[in-house]
Amino acid sequence: MATDNRINFWRRNAKVPGSVQPVYGAQHPPLDPCLRRTFPKDSKPKYNNIGSKKACSFHEFASSTDDAWDIDDEEDEELRRTPPSGPVSIQASLLHQAGDPERRPTHPRTEAQSLPPPQEDAAEHVNGRVGKSSSDADLSTSSVRSSLQKQQSLPVRPIIPLVARISDQNASGAPPMTVREKTRLDKFKQLLASPNTDLEELRKHSWSGIPREVRPITWRLLSGYLPANRERRELVLQRKREEYFGFIEQYYHSRTDENYKDTYRQIHIDIPRTNPLIPLFQQPAVQEVFERILFIWAIRHPASGYVQGINDLVTPFFVAFLSEFVTEDVENFEVAALPQETQRNIEADSFWCMSKLLDGIQDNYTFAQPGIQNKVKALEELVSRIDADIHSHFKKYEVEYLQFAFRWMNNLLMRELPLRCTIRLWDTYQAETDGFSHFHLYVCAAFLMEWRKEILSMLDFQSLLMLLQNLPTIHWGNEEVGLLLAEAYRLKYMFADAPSHYKR
Protein backbone atom coordinates (compact mmCIF):
# COMPACT_ATOMS: atom_id res chain seq x y z
CA MET A 1 0.00 0.00 0.00
CA ALA A 2 2.83 2.41 0.88
CA THR A 3 4.48 1.79 -2.49
CA ASP A 4 1.23 2.45 -4.33
CA ASN A 5 0.83 5.73 -2.47
CA ARG A 6 4.32 6.86 -3.50
CA ILE A 7 3.73 5.97 -7.13
CA ASN A 8 0.42 7.81 -7.16
CA PHE A 9 2.16 10.85 -5.73
CA TRP A 10 4.46 11.19 -8.70
CA ARG A 11 1.85 10.58 -11.42
CA ARG A 12 1.45 13.71 -13.44
CA ASN A 13 -2.29 14.00 -12.95
CA ALA A 14 -2.25 13.14 -9.27
CA LYS A 15 -2.82 15.85 -6.71
CA VAL A 16 0.11 16.81 -4.51
CA PRO A 17 -0.72 16.01 -0.88
CA GLY A 18 -2.01 18.84 1.27
CA SER A 19 -2.93 18.99 4.93
CA VAL A 20 -2.31 15.89 7.04
CA GLN A 21 -1.23 13.86 4.02
CA PRO A 22 1.93 11.82 3.59
CA VAL A 23 4.84 13.82 2.15
CA TYR A 24 7.46 11.83 0.27
CA GLY A 25 10.64 11.43 2.24
CA ALA A 26 9.40 13.48 5.21
CA GLN A 27 9.93 10.83 7.88
CA HIS A 28 13.04 9.62 9.65
CA PRO A 29 13.75 5.90 9.79
CA PRO A 30 12.03 4.07 12.65
CA LEU A 31 13.94 4.01 15.91
CA ASP A 32 13.13 0.50 17.09
CA PRO A 33 16.05 -1.82 16.29
CA CYS A 34 13.60 -4.73 16.49
CA LEU A 35 12.05 -3.42 13.27
CA ARG A 36 15.37 -3.59 11.41
CA ARG A 37 16.18 -6.64 9.37
CA THR A 38 19.38 -8.52 10.12
CA PHE A 39 21.32 -10.48 7.52
CA PRO A 40 24.12 -13.05 7.72
CA LYS A 41 27.61 -11.65 7.44
CA ASP A 42 28.41 -13.36 4.17
CA SER A 43 25.23 -12.44 2.41
CA LYS A 44 23.81 -9.17 1.23
CA PRO A 45 20.19 -8.10 1.58
CA LYS A 46 18.13 -8.54 -1.53
CA TYR A 47 15.85 -5.67 -2.43
CA ASN A 48 13.50 -7.30 -4.89
CA ASN A 49 16.38 -8.11 -7.23
CA ILE A 50 16.99 -4.52 -8.16
CA GLY A 51 20.57 -5.38 -9.13
CA SER A 52 19.42 -7.58 -11.96
CA LYS A 53 17.71 -4.74 -13.70
CA LYS A 54 18.59 -1.07 -13.74
CA ALA A 55 15.82 1.25 -12.62
CA CYS A 56 15.44 3.67 -15.50
CA SER A 57 12.58 5.74 -14.07
CA PHE A 58 11.29 6.85 -10.74
CA HIS A 59 8.23 4.61 -11.04
CA GLU A 60 10.41 1.51 -11.39
CA PHE A 61 12.72 2.74 -8.65
CA ALA A 62 9.80 3.31 -6.27
CA SER A 63 8.26 -0.08 -6.99
CA SER A 64 11.57 -1.93 -6.63
CA THR A 65 12.72 -0.40 -3.34
CA ASP A 66 11.38 -1.20 0.10
CA ASP A 67 10.88 2.13 1.84
CA ALA A 68 12.08 1.61 5.42
CA TRP A 69 10.50 4.89 6.44
CA ASP A 70 6.92 3.78 5.81
CA ILE A 71 5.60 1.86 8.80
CA ASP A 72 2.03 0.96 9.54
CA ASP A 73 -0.09 1.90 12.53
CA GLU A 74 0.80 -1.20 14.55
CA GLU A 75 4.51 -0.53 14.15
CA ASP A 76 3.93 3.12 15.06
CA GLU A 77 2.36 2.03 18.34
CA GLU A 78 5.30 -0.31 19.01
CA LEU A 79 7.69 2.51 18.13
CA ARG A 80 6.12 4.83 20.66
CA ARG A 81 6.28 2.14 23.37
CA THR A 82 10.00 1.53 22.75
CA PRO A 83 12.44 3.24 25.17
CA PRO A 84 13.55 6.44 23.41
CA SER A 85 17.25 5.93 23.93
CA GLY A 86 17.42 3.04 21.42
CA PRO A 87 20.00 4.12 18.81
CA VAL A 88 22.28 5.92 21.25
CA SER A 89 22.22 3.15 23.86
CA ILE A 90 22.97 0.55 21.20
CA GLN A 91 26.21 2.36 20.48
CA ALA A 92 27.10 2.27 24.17
CA SER A 93 26.30 -1.46 24.20
CA LEU A 94 28.51 -2.09 21.19
CA LEU A 95 31.36 -0.24 22.87
CA HIS A 96 30.92 -2.49 25.91
CA GLN A 97 31.02 -5.59 23.70
CA ALA A 98 34.20 -4.30 22.13
CA GLY A 99 35.83 -4.22 25.57
CA ASP A 100 36.07 -0.46 26.20
CA PRO A 101 37.22 -0.33 29.88
CA GLU A 102 35.31 2.90 30.50
CA ARG A 103 32.10 1.30 29.30
CA ARG A 104 32.15 -1.86 31.44
CA PRO A 105 29.27 -2.24 33.90
CA THR A 106 30.19 -1.52 37.50
CA HIS A 107 27.83 -4.20 38.83
CA PRO A 108 28.23 -7.40 36.78
CA ARG A 109 25.91 -9.32 39.08
CA THR A 110 23.11 -6.82 38.56
CA GLU A 111 23.69 -6.99 34.82
CA ALA A 112 23.54 -10.78 34.82
CA GLN A 113 20.27 -10.69 36.67
CA SER A 114 18.78 -8.36 34.09
CA LEU A 115 19.59 -10.74 31.23
CA PRO A 116 17.52 -13.76 30.20
CA PRO A 117 19.06 -17.26 30.54
CA PRO A 118 21.80 -17.92 27.99
CA GLN A 119 20.59 -19.51 24.78
CA GLU A 120 22.40 -21.80 22.39
CA ASP A 121 24.14 -19.99 19.52
CA ALA A 122 23.44 -16.59 21.06
CA ALA A 123 26.57 -15.24 22.76
CA GLU A 124 29.50 -16.59 24.74
CA HIS A 125 30.52 -14.97 28.04
CA VAL A 126 34.28 -15.07 28.55
CA ASN A 127 35.87 -13.49 31.63
CA GLY A 128 32.80 -11.38 32.24
CA ARG A 129 32.82 -9.99 28.69
CA VAL A 130 30.57 -10.75 25.77
CA GLY A 131 32.09 -12.37 22.72
CA LYS A 132 30.55 -13.37 19.41
CA SER A 133 29.74 -17.02 18.83
CA SER A 134 30.16 -18.86 15.56
CA SER A 135 26.49 -18.37 14.66
CA ASP A 136 26.33 -14.76 15.76
CA ALA A 137 25.39 -13.75 12.23
CA ASP A 138 21.98 -15.38 12.62
CA LEU A 139 20.68 -13.12 15.36
CA SER A 140 17.10 -13.74 16.33
CA THR A 141 14.55 -11.25 17.60
CA SER A 142 15.04 -12.55 21.13
CA SER A 143 18.78 -11.88 21.05
CA VAL A 144 18.16 -8.32 19.85
CA ARG A 145 15.78 -7.74 22.74
CA SER A 146 18.36 -9.29 25.05
CA SER A 147 20.96 -6.76 23.92
CA LEU A 148 18.47 -3.96 24.50
CA GLN A 149 17.91 -5.16 28.07
CA LYS A 150 21.64 -5.39 28.58
CA GLN A 151 22.41 -1.88 27.37
CA GLN A 152 19.87 -0.45 29.81
CA SER A 153 22.06 -1.67 32.68
CA LEU A 154 25.12 0.25 31.48
CA PRO A 155 25.72 3.18 33.86
CA VAL A 156 27.52 5.32 31.29
CA ARG A 157 26.67 8.45 29.39
CA PRO A 158 25.42 7.63 25.90
CA ILE A 159 27.67 8.30 22.94
CA ILE A 160 26.20 10.90 20.59
CA PRO A 161 26.96 10.38 16.89
CA LEU A 162 28.66 13.30 15.19
CA VAL A 163 25.59 13.97 13.07
CA ALA A 164 23.54 14.46 16.24
CA ARG A 165 25.86 16.90 18.02
CA ILE A 166 24.33 20.35 18.32
CA SER A 167 27.51 22.25 19.15
CA ASP A 168 27.79 25.24 16.83
CA GLN A 169 31.58 25.06 16.66
CA ASN A 170 33.33 23.88 13.50
CA ALA A 171 33.64 20.13 13.04
CA SER A 172 37.38 20.65 12.62
CA GLY A 173 37.71 21.43 16.33
CA ALA A 174 38.23 25.20 16.33
CA PRO A 175 38.91 26.89 19.69
CA PRO A 176 35.79 27.93 21.61
CA MET A 177 36.41 31.66 21.42
CA THR A 178 38.94 33.52 19.29
CA VAL A 179 39.80 37.20 19.63
CA ARG A 180 37.72 37.99 16.56
CA GLU A 181 34.73 36.11 17.93
CA LYS A 182 35.00 37.92 21.26
CA THR A 183 35.03 41.24 19.43
CA ARG A 184 31.93 40.24 17.50
CA LEU A 185 30.19 39.16 20.69
CA ASP A 186 30.93 42.55 22.29
CA LYS A 187 29.47 44.28 19.23
CA PHE A 188 26.27 42.24 19.49
CA LYS A 189 25.96 43.01 23.18
CA GLN A 190 26.42 46.70 22.47
CA LEU A 191 23.69 46.66 19.80
CA LEU A 192 21.28 44.72 22.00
CA ALA A 193 21.87 46.97 25.01
CA SER A 194 20.94 50.18 23.20
CA PRO A 195 17.51 51.72 24.00
CA ASN A 196 16.38 51.08 20.40
CA THR A 197 18.26 48.31 18.64
CA ASP A 198 19.24 49.12 15.08
CA LEU A 199 17.75 46.08 13.34
CA GLU A 200 19.50 46.76 10.04
CA GLU A 201 22.86 46.86 11.80
CA LEU A 202 21.91 43.73 13.72
CA ARG A 203 21.06 41.92 10.47
CA LYS A 204 24.37 42.99 8.98
CA HIS A 205 26.33 41.49 11.87
CA SER A 206 24.13 38.36 12.02
CA TRP A 207 24.68 37.38 8.40
CA SER A 208 28.00 35.70 9.11
CA GLY A 209 26.73 33.94 12.23
CA ILE A 210 25.38 34.86 15.65
CA PRO A 211 27.35 34.04 18.82
CA ARG A 212 25.66 31.38 20.91
CA GLU A 213 25.38 33.64 23.94
CA VAL A 214 23.18 36.22 22.16
CA ARG A 215 21.41 34.00 19.63
CA PRO A 216 18.12 33.67 21.60
CA ILE A 217 17.49 37.41 21.95
CA THR A 218 18.77 38.09 18.42
CA TRP A 219 16.45 35.52 16.85
CA ARG A 220 13.49 36.95 18.77
CA LEU A 221 14.29 40.40 17.42
CA LEU A 222 15.04 39.42 13.81
CA SER A 223 11.92 37.24 13.55
CA GLY A 224 9.75 40.17 14.59
CA TYR A 225 8.65 38.54 17.82
CA LEU A 226 10.23 41.23 20.00
CA PRO A 227 10.18 45.02 19.41
CA ALA A 228 13.38 46.98 18.88
CA ASN A 229 12.56 49.17 21.86
CA ARG A 230 14.29 47.68 24.87
CA GLU A 231 11.81 48.96 27.47
CA ARG A 232 8.85 47.27 25.76
CA ARG A 233 10.41 43.81 25.38
CA GLU A 234 9.54 42.41 28.79
CA LEU A 235 5.90 43.46 28.52
CA VAL A 236 5.60 41.99 25.01
CA LEU A 237 7.14 38.71 26.14
CA GLN A 238 4.79 38.44 29.08
CA ARG A 239 1.72 39.23 26.97
CA LYS A 240 2.59 36.83 24.14
CA ARG A 241 3.43 33.99 26.50
CA GLU A 242 0.13 34.41 28.32
CA GLU A 243 -1.65 34.51 24.97
CA TYR A 244 -0.10 31.22 23.88
CA PHE A 245 -1.10 29.38 27.04
CA GLY A 246 -4.54 30.90 26.65
CA PHE A 247 -4.70 29.03 23.33
CA ILE A 248 -3.65 25.85 25.15
CA GLU A 249 -6.47 26.19 27.67
CA GLN A 250 -9.00 27.05 24.97
CA TYR A 251 -8.14 24.56 22.24
CA TYR A 252 -5.82 21.76 23.32
CA HIS A 253 -8.59 19.65 24.86
CA SER A 254 -10.24 19.49 21.42
CA ARG A 255 -7.44 17.29 20.04
CA THR A 256 -9.68 14.25 20.55
CA ASP A 257 -12.66 15.84 18.78
CA GLU A 258 -13.80 14.34 15.50
CA ASN A 259 -12.65 17.40 13.53
CA TYR A 260 -9.09 17.37 14.87
CA LYS A 261 -8.30 13.79 15.87
CA ASP A 262 -6.65 12.99 12.51
CA THR A 263 -4.46 16.07 12.77
CA TYR A 264 -3.41 15.22 16.31
CA ARG A 265 -2.80 11.59 15.40
CA GLN A 266 -0.46 12.57 12.57
CA ILE A 267 1.42 14.96 14.88
CA HIS A 268 1.63 12.26 17.54
CA ILE A 269 3.15 9.86 14.98
CA ASP A 270 5.68 12.37 13.60
CA ILE A 271 7.05 13.70 16.88
CA PRO A 272 9.15 10.59 17.78
CA ARG A 273 10.68 10.74 14.28
CA THR A 274 11.99 14.27 14.88
CA ASN A 275 15.80 14.09 15.20
CA PRO A 276 15.70 10.49 16.47
CA LEU A 277 19.44 10.33 17.15
CA ILE A 278 19.35 13.20 19.66
CA PRO A 279 18.22 12.14 23.17
CA LEU A 280 16.88 15.63 23.88
CA PHE A 281 14.01 15.17 21.43
CA GLN A 282 13.09 11.72 22.73
CA GLN A 283 12.24 12.99 26.21
CA PRO A 284 8.51 12.78 26.98
CA ALA A 285 8.47 16.36 28.29
CA VAL A 286 9.96 17.68 25.04
CA GLN A 287 7.63 15.61 22.85
CA GLU A 288 4.61 16.93 24.75
CA VAL A 289 5.85 20.49 24.13
CA PHE A 290 6.15 19.79 20.39
CA GLU A 291 2.68 18.23 20.27
CA ARG A 292 1.11 21.30 21.87
CA ILE A 293 2.98 23.73 19.63
CA LEU A 294 2.11 21.91 16.41
CA PHE A 295 -1.51 21.25 17.31
CA ILE A 296 -2.20 24.86 18.31
CA TRP A 297 -0.53 26.12 15.14
CA ALA A 298 -2.47 23.70 12.96
CA ILE A 299 -5.93 24.62 14.26
CA ARG A 300 -5.11 28.33 14.08
CA HIS A 301 -4.09 27.95 10.41
CA PRO A 302 -6.89 25.91 8.83
CA ALA A 303 -5.83 26.87 5.29
CA SER A 304 -2.86 24.57 5.61
CA GLY A 305 -3.32 22.62 8.83
CA TYR A 306 -0.52 20.33 9.89
CA VAL A 307 1.73 18.93 7.15
CA GLN A 308 4.59 16.51 7.74
CA GLY A 309 7.81 18.48 7.82
CA ILE A 310 6.51 21.33 9.94
CA ASN A 311 7.55 19.36 13.03
CA ASP A 312 11.21 19.84 12.03
CA LEU A 313 10.86 23.61 11.97
CA VAL A 314 10.28 23.80 15.72
CA THR A 315 13.61 22.21 16.66
CA PRO A 316 16.09 25.06 15.89
CA PHE A 317 14.02 27.54 17.88
CA PHE A 318 13.60 25.13 20.77
CA VAL A 319 17.36 24.45 20.93
CA ALA A 320 18.24 28.15 20.64
CA PHE A 321 15.93 29.18 23.47
CA LEU A 322 16.89 26.19 25.61
CA SER A 323 20.59 27.06 25.26
CA GLU A 324 19.84 30.30 27.10
CA PHE A 325 19.54 28.25 30.30
CA VAL A 326 21.99 25.41 29.57
CA THR A 327 25.76 25.62 29.70
CA GLU A 328 26.44 21.89 29.20
CA ASP A 329 25.76 19.76 26.13
CA VAL A 330 22.22 20.39 24.97
CA GLU A 331 21.92 16.94 23.37
CA ASN A 332 21.67 15.18 26.73
CA PHE A 333 20.10 17.89 28.87
CA GLU A 334 17.07 16.82 30.91
CA VAL A 335 14.47 19.49 30.19
CA ALA A 336 12.24 18.34 33.04
CA ALA A 337 14.94 19.55 35.46
CA LEU A 338 14.27 23.18 34.50
CA PRO A 339 11.77 25.25 36.53
CA GLN A 340 8.23 24.97 35.19
CA GLU A 341 8.09 28.67 34.36
CA THR A 342 11.27 28.40 32.28
CA GLN A 343 9.88 25.42 30.36
CA ARG A 344 6.70 27.37 29.62
CA ASN A 345 8.65 30.38 28.35
CA ILE A 346 10.78 28.26 26.02
CA GLU A 347 7.63 26.60 24.64
CA ALA A 348 5.78 29.86 24.05
CA ASP A 349 8.75 31.58 22.41
CA SER A 350 9.32 28.56 20.13
CA PHE A 351 5.67 28.67 19.08
CA TRP A 352 5.64 32.36 18.20
CA CYS A 353 8.96 32.37 16.34
CA MET A 354 7.96 29.28 14.36
CA SER A 355 4.67 31.00 13.53
CA LYS A 356 6.54 34.07 12.28
CA LEU A 357 8.67 31.86 10.04
CA LEU A 358 5.68 29.97 8.63
CA ASP A 359 3.78 33.18 7.95
CA GLY A 360 6.32 33.90 5.22
CA ILE A 361 6.18 30.46 3.58
CA GLN A 362 2.65 29.27 4.34
CA ASP A 363 1.92 28.59 0.66
CA ASN A 364 4.43 25.75 1.03
CA TYR A 365 1.86 23.92 3.15
CA THR A 366 -1.56 24.89 1.78
CA PHE A 367 -3.51 22.46 -0.41
CA ALA A 368 -1.39 21.07 -3.27
CA GLN A 369 1.58 22.95 -1.74
CA PRO A 370 1.95 25.46 -4.61
CA GLY A 371 4.81 27.29 -2.90
CA ILE A 372 7.02 24.21 -2.97
CA GLN A 373 6.12 23.36 -6.55
CA ASN A 374 6.98 26.90 -7.70
CA LYS A 375 10.27 26.85 -5.82
CA VAL A 376 11.25 23.50 -7.32
CA LYS A 377 10.52 24.83 -10.81
CA ALA A 378 12.56 27.93 -10.03
CA LEU A 379 15.44 25.73 -8.85
CA GLU A 380 15.30 23.72 -12.08
CA GLU A 381 15.45 26.86 -14.19
CA LEU A 382 18.26 28.31 -12.08
CA VAL A 383 20.38 25.15 -12.31
CA SER A 384 19.86 24.99 -16.08
CA ARG A 385 21.47 28.44 -16.28
CA ILE A 386 24.18 27.87 -13.69
CA ASP A 387 25.39 24.42 -14.76
CA ALA A 388 24.07 22.99 -18.00
CA ASP A 389 26.05 19.77 -17.49
CA ILE A 390 24.20 18.81 -14.31
CA HIS A 391 20.87 19.80 -15.83
CA SER A 392 21.52 17.66 -18.91
CA HIS A 393 22.73 14.80 -16.71
CA PHE A 394 19.42 14.79 -14.83
CA LYS A 395 17.49 14.81 -18.09
CA LYS A 396 19.56 11.98 -19.54
CA TYR A 397 18.76 9.68 -16.62
CA GLU A 398 15.18 10.93 -16.15
CA VAL A 399 15.75 12.46 -12.72
CA GLU A 400 13.13 15.08 -11.94
CA TYR A 401 13.95 17.90 -9.54
CA LEU A 402 10.75 17.29 -7.61
CA GLN A 403 12.01 13.86 -6.63
CA PHE A 404 14.78 15.26 -4.42
CA ALA A 405 14.19 19.02 -4.10
CA PHE A 406 10.66 18.65 -2.72
CA ARG A 407 12.13 17.67 0.64
CA TRP A 408 14.74 20.43 0.43
CA MET A 409 11.95 23.00 0.19
CA ASN A 410 9.48 21.29 2.51
CA ASN A 411 11.99 20.88 5.35
CA LEU A 412 14.32 23.81 4.55
CA LEU A 413 17.27 21.38 4.14
CA MET A 414 16.87 20.17 7.73
CA ARG A 415 16.91 16.52 6.62
CA GLU A 416 20.09 17.07 4.59
CA LEU A 417 22.18 18.87 7.25
CA PRO A 418 23.02 18.21 10.90
CA LEU A 419 21.03 20.37 13.31
CA ARG A 420 24.12 22.40 14.25
CA CYS A 421 24.43 23.41 10.58
CA THR A 422 20.74 24.29 10.36
CA ILE A 423 21.06 26.64 13.33
CA ARG A 424 24.01 28.39 11.71
CA LEU A 425 22.14 28.52 8.40
CA TRP A 426 19.15 30.12 10.08
CA ASP A 427 21.35 32.89 11.49
CA THR A 428 21.77 34.05 7.90
CA TYR A 429 18.15 33.34 6.94
CA GLN A 430 17.02 35.58 9.80
CA ALA A 431 19.41 38.29 8.62
CA GLU A 432 18.35 38.08 4.95
CA THR A 433 15.22 39.75 3.66
CA ASP A 434 12.83 36.88 2.87
CA GLY A 435 15.60 34.49 3.78
CA PHE A 436 13.38 31.44 4.30
CA SER A 437 11.44 31.97 1.09
CA HIS A 438 13.73 33.70 -1.42
CA PHE A 439 17.36 33.23 -0.34
CA HIS A 440 16.72 29.57 0.43
CA LEU A 441 16.37 28.94 -3.32
CA TYR A 442 19.97 30.04 -3.93
CA VAL A 443 21.20 28.03 -0.95
CA CYS A 444 19.60 24.93 -2.50
CA ALA A 445 21.27 25.69 -5.83
CA ALA A 446 24.64 26.13 -4.15
CA PHE A 447 24.05 22.95 -2.17
CA LEU A 448 23.41 21.02 -5.39
CA MET A 449 26.54 22.46 -7.01
CA GLU A 450 28.55 21.34 -3.97
CA TRP A 451 28.09 17.75 -5.11
CA ARG A 452 28.71 18.36 -8.82
CA LYS A 453 31.56 15.87 -9.14
CA GLU A 454 29.64 13.10 -7.37
CA ILE A 455 26.49 13.76 -9.39
CA LEU A 456 28.23 13.57 -12.75
CA SER A 457 29.96 10.33 -11.72
CA MET A 458 26.61 8.58 -11.21
CA LEU A 459 25.53 6.91 -14.44
CA ASP A 460 22.10 5.52 -13.65
CA PHE A 461 18.82 6.77 -12.19
CA GLN A 462 18.96 4.75 -8.99
CA SER A 463 22.47 5.85 -8.00
CA LEU A 464 21.66 9.48 -8.68
CA LEU A 465 18.54 9.48 -6.56
CA MET A 466 20.21 7.56 -3.74
CA LEU A 467 23.00 10.14 -3.66
CA LEU A 468 20.68 13.15 -3.75
CA GLN A 469 18.55 11.76 -0.93
CA ASN A 470 21.51 10.75 1.29
CA LEU A 471 24.18 13.40 0.81
CA PRO A 472 27.19 12.90 3.13
CA THR A 473 27.11 16.00 5.35
CA ILE A 474 27.71 14.28 8.70
CA HIS A 475 31.04 16.07 9.25
CA TRP A 476 29.79 19.52 8.26
CA GLY A 477 30.20 22.44 10.63
CA ASN A 478 30.26 26.25 10.58
CA GLU A 479 33.07 26.39 8.05
CA GLU A 480 31.22 24.35 5.43
CA VAL A 481 27.97 26.25 5.99
CA GLY A 482 29.83 29.55 5.65
CA LEU A 483 31.22 28.51 2.27
CA LEU A 484 27.78 27.31 1.17
CA LEU A 485 26.21 30.66 2.11
CA ALA A 486 28.94 32.61 0.35
CA GLU A 487 28.28 30.68 -2.87
CA ALA A 488 24.54 31.18 -2.45
CA TYR A 489 25.07 34.93 -2.08
CA ARG A 490 27.20 34.96 -5.24
CA LEU A 491 24.46 33.16 -7.17
CA LYS A 492 21.83 35.54 -5.85
CA TYR A 493 23.95 38.55 -6.81
CA MET A 494 24.43 37.18 -10.34
CA PHE A 495 20.95 35.84 -11.09
CA ALA A 496 18.28 37.34 -8.80
CA ASP A 497 18.08 40.67 -10.63
CA ALA A 498 19.09 39.29 -14.02
CA PRO A 499 16.35 36.87 -15.15
CA SER A 500 17.90 36.45 -18.61
CA HIS A 501 21.51 36.10 -17.45
CA TYR A 502 23.08 32.99 -19.00
CA LYS A 503 19.65 31.97 -20.19
CA ARG A 504 19.71 29.42 -22.98
Residue-range domains of the chain with CATH? 2-79 (no CATH), 86-157 (no CATH), 179-360 (1.10.8), 370-495 (1.10.472.80)
Evaluate whether 467 touches 351 at the Cβ level (below 8 Å).
Answer: no
For residue 26, which amino acid is it? A
CA–CA dist 29, 24 (Å, integer): 13
CA–CA dist 142, 155 (Å, integer): 23
pLDDT bucket at 12, cuts 50 / 70 / 90? very low
| Dihedral-angle region of residue 127 (phi above 0 means left; psi in -120 to 50 means alpha; beta otherwise) | left
Phi, psi values for residue 458, rounded to 5°: -85, 125
Beta bridge partners of 124: 131
Long-range pairs for 393-399 at CB < 8 Å and ≥24 separation? 393/455, 393/456, 393/464, 394/464, 397/56, 397/458, 397/459, 397/460, 397/461, 397/464, 398/56, 398/57, 398/58, 398/461, 399/58, 399/461, 399/464, 399/465, 399/468
The pLDDT assigned to 443 comes to 98
Is the pTM of the predicted complex or chain greater than 0.85? no
Parallel, antiparallel or unpaired: strands 124-126 and 129-131: antiparallel
pLDDT bucket at 423, cuts 50 / 70 / 90? very high
User: Which position has the higher pLDDT, 231 or 35?
Assistant: 231
Q: What is the pLDDT of residues 67-83, one digit of tens each?
A: 434 444 444 555 445 44
User: Which position has the higher pLDDT, 230 or 146?
Assistant: 230
pLDDT bucket at 166, cuts 50 / 70 / 90? confident
Q: Going by C-beta distance under 8 Å and a sequence separation of 6 or more, which residues neighbour residue 37?
A: 45
- H/E stretch holding 118: none
